[in-house]
Chains A and B, each alone.
Chain A
Amino acid sequence: MSIDLRFFDLEIVKIAVGLLAAFVFVVFNALILTWAERKVAGHMQLRIGPKEVGPYGLIQPLADALKLLGKEILTPRNVDKPIFYLGPIMIFIPVLVAFVVIPFDSFLQVKDINVGILVILAFSSFTVLAILMAGWGSNNKYSLIGAIRSIAQSVAYEIPLLLSLLAVVMMANSLSLKDVVEAQKGIWFVVLQPVAFVIYFIASVAETNRTPFDLPEAESELVAGYHTEYSGMMFALFFLAEYTNMFIVSAITVTFFLGGYQGPFLPGIVWFLLKSYFLVFVMMWFRWTFPRVRFDQLLNISWKALIPLAFLNLLVTGGLLKL
């Protein structure tokens, strides 16, 4: 019996297979990144990091995952139950959607949507909603403060993020991620748009709530911010989403500024992953170098520095393109 290969040409089947692959990738990515983060942290502090479970501690994240799976999901008294349970699920959905449009290689993309970047940005703003749900639903002051901070931060940093990407979109003349990559055949956009690159990278670190912009979960002030009340697998979903978001913003940076899957000798996917994980490493590097900014500093950086700069960059780009 032969399988009818036309079955795989169906759009819905393609997307289903793609999402399944994305889910597998998300889990592996999170497992590797939790291990990598602890290793990087260790070596930057002249320690080794995890080393007992498996060679070089490589099986450590698996042990952690099993522990989280085995834990009871606690529901504190007086939480807003539907919202409390929906929070961690909501934060995970946009993460999966982003993988549909990211071009891992010239042929490895679930679907090339002609408004690709718009899809990613639109869905990633769901994250804010999920964090608010988690913070509000927990009925805990630390969670709520963390959620409110996160929203103020996301609103402030989404603007420079969009504006810096817009400059690249103007140059590539397309919203499709694949076209943006193809437009960088000759020269990477990081050379033509260095200001936009810096703005985007700073804003993306803030968007993923990573240090030095990790005020929503500032552990020294807010216990753990919006995921204070979550335990077991619900906490694991937040964790999974954070590490996947790190990869996604790095992947978008690579796609828009660093030539995507293009590079000599090695296959495209290898280049893409190398570049992406290098940026993830830079984000970890930030985390173990910089102290947390104050909240007024956080908003000042965005509203007084990044946004005017992004507008200026957009204006100059537009002017130069017209000439």
Chain B
Amino acid sequence: MTVTPASFIKGTVSLAAGMGVTLKSFFQPVVTSQYPREVLEITPRFRGHIKLLASPENPLENMCIACGICVRNCPSGSIKKVDGEKREGEKRKRVTVYMLDFTTCSQCGICVESCPSKAIGFSGDFNIAGLKREDFYFDLVKEFDKRKKAS
């Protein structure tokens, strides 16, 4: 350890500069959000589990035609079953069952991209936790109906 007057002054100044930095941040407003008290807005690109989107014309209906392309395209085989029915006087099929096994989903988005009727999107729902595997088997049709009722 050799100390010259120049290095001593330099060291002292840098110590003071460091203390200046911490004192400044001491009086700055905090940057953390207090999670359970305040929840940040979820960014639009956040990938939660997939959900059925409402039709732009009629928000009470979804656009799924139960074609099953998502089932065949899912690389993890997470979309278990998509079923629909054709009602009298309508051109398109309507989905009645849409089973998603979220435990194996990797949120890759291939289902969203491959959907011909743009009926699937990501939900911003990050707050899901469960004790059983079955807690993550979602029926998206039921989930859609629940949202419909809430709105």
What is the bound-complex CA distance between A304 and B1, given in angstroms?
A: 9
Q: Which residues from A are CB-within-8-Å of B18?
A: 289-290
What is the bound-complex CA distance between A40 and B34, given in angstroms?
A: 18
Q: A44 touches which one: B3, B15, B22, B32 (CB < 8 A)?
A: B22
- B21-48: CB near A (< 8 Å → 1, else 0) gives 1110111111110100000000000000
Please count how many residues in chain A sit with their CB below 8 Å of the partner chain's CB atoms.
Answer: 19
* 14 residue pairs from A and B, CB less than 8 Å apart: A40-B26, A43-B26, A43-B27, A43-B30, A46-B30, A47-B32, A48-B32, A286-B19, A288-B22, A289-B18, A289-B21, A290-B18, A304-B3, A305-B3
- A273-314: CB near B (< 8 Å → 1, else 0) gives 000000000000110111000001100100011000000000
B119 to chain A, nearest CB (A): 43
Is A285 a contact partner of B28 (Cβ separation < 8 A)?
Answer: no
What is the bound-complex CA distance between A45 and B25, given in angstroms?
A: 7
Q: Confirm or deny: A51 has a beta carbon within 8 angstroms of a beta carbon on chain B.
A: yes
Q: B30 touches which one: A48, A286, A288, A297 (CB < 8 A)?
A: A48
B19 to chain A, nearest CB (A): 5
Q: Which residues from A are CB-within-8-Å of B22?
A: 44, 285, 288-289
Residues of B within 8 A of A (CB): 1, 3, 15, 18-19, 21-23, 25-32, 34
The residue in chain B whose Cβ has the minimal distance to the Cβ of A212 is B15
A281 to chain B, nearest CB (A): 10
Q: Which A30-50 residues have a C-beta within 8 angstroms of B?
A: 40, 42-48
A47-B32, A304-B1 in contact; A289/B19 too (CB < 8 A)? yes
Q: List 13 extra interface pairs beyond A43-B30, A46-B32, CB under 8 A.
A: A40-B26, A46-B31, A47-B30, A47-B31, A48-B32, A285-B22, A285-B23, A288-B22, A289-B19, A289-B21, A289-B22, A297-B1, A305-B3
Interface of A is mostly: helix
The residue in chain B whose Cβ has the minimal distance to the Cβ of A296 is B1
What is the bound-complex CA distance between A289 and B28, given in angstroms?
A: 16
What is the bound-complex CA distance between A67 and B86, given in angstroms?
A: 64
A79 to chain B, nearest CB (A): 39
Is A43 a contact partner of B25 (Cβ separation < 8 A)?
Answer: yes
Is A51 a contact partner of B1 (Cβ separation < 8 A)?
Answer: no
The residue in chain A whose Cβ has the minimal distance to the Cβ of B23 is A285
B9 to chain A, nearest CB (A): 14
Is A44 a contact partner of B26 (Cβ separation < 8 A)?
Answer: yes
Q: Which residues from A are CB-within-8-Å of B15?
A: 290
What is the bound-complex CA distance between A290 and B26, given in angstroms?
A: 15
What is the bound-complex CA distance between A3 and B1, given in angstroms?
A: 66
B65 to chain A, nearest CB (A): 50
What is the bound-complex CA distance between A309 and B26, given in angstroms?
A: 33
Q: Which residues from B are CB-within-8-Å of A288?
A: 22
Is A51 a contact partner of B34 (Cβ separation < 8 A)?
Answer: yes
9 shortest A-B CB distances, which residue pairs? Answer: A289-B22, A46-B31, A44-B22, A300-B1, A289-B18, A43-B26, A44-B26, A47-B32, A289-B19
